[in-house]
Chains A and B, each alone.
Chain A
Amino acid sequence: NAGVMQNPRHLVRRRGQEARLRCSPMKGHSHVYWYRQLPEEGLKFMVYLQKENIIDESGMPKERFSAEFPKEGPSILRIQQVVRGDSAAYFCASSPLPGQLNTEAFFGQGTRLTVV
């Protein structure tokens, strides 16, 4: 059972470009969470998605950031018109079915975004 897969592992974008980060959850997991780790800071929750549904986006910046988890394929975190302050490590986690609130979170290796 492969773990949570994120790609790319490293991404360099120039200011103003778009960044697309992908996350494939563990097999059998239908819930995906995105977290951001800014330099010298802790991980902060961004968004929680089920297939085709955004459940909680309370941690997402209001502008330029969006996330989706389509019926088929990986979850995508999209950052438009990137700025230097978006440089961070973005982590994805997945968990199983709803109702299992006491489950363990499994994290991917992260995507390290550098905006130049």
Chain B
Amino acid sequence: KQEVTQIPAALSVPEGENLVLNCSFTDSAIYNLQWFRQDPGKGLTSLLLIQSSQREQTSGRLNASLDKSSGRSTLYIAASQPGDSATYLCAVRAGGGNKLTFGTGTQLKVEL
């Protein structure tokens, strides 16, 4: 059974810092991994999708890496801003049916 863990559970940083969020998964037989952002009381916004054959994806200040063999992914946020404050979720797609297994998220707060 696939299990996804995110560390840390919560993180508070001053504005401008670079930061790394971690995601690990137990079964490396995945199709892809997706990072999402969730604001309080809101839905999920897809940030980055990494296919199993890829090592990293970049979008603006965000960079996600994937090491499938070790079951790890990181989300790097450069020059953090207060608007980045949200919960960040990683999810892996494995097995038949395209369903996602989610981690419990990292709650990020970027302070002025």
A contact set with B: CB distance below 8 Å: 31, 33, 35, 41-45, 48, 55-56, 59, 91, 93, 95, 101-110, 112
Contacts and interface: CB of A to CB of B under 8 A. Distances in A.
A101 B31 CA distance: 7
Q: Which of A31, A56, A105, A108 has the most CB of B within 10 A?
A: A105
B33 to A, nearest CB: 11
Contacts of B52: 102
A106 B89 CA distance: 14
Q: Specify the main secondary structure of chain A where it touches its partner.
A: strand
Given A43-B89, A45-B99, A56-B99, 14 more contacts: A35-B100, A43-B91, A43-B100, A48-B99, A56-B96, A91-B43, A101-B31, A102-B51, A102-B93, A104-B34, A104-B49, A105-B91, A105-B100, A112-B41
A45 B31 contact: no
A104 B35 CA distance: 10
B65 interface: no
8 contacts: A42-B89, A45-B101, A48-B97, A48-B98, A48-B99, A101-B31, A105-B93, A110-B43
A33 B99 contact: yes
A44 B1 CA distance: 13
Nearest to B6: A42
Contacts of A107: 36, 43-44, 46
A109 B44 CA distance: 7
B71 interface: no
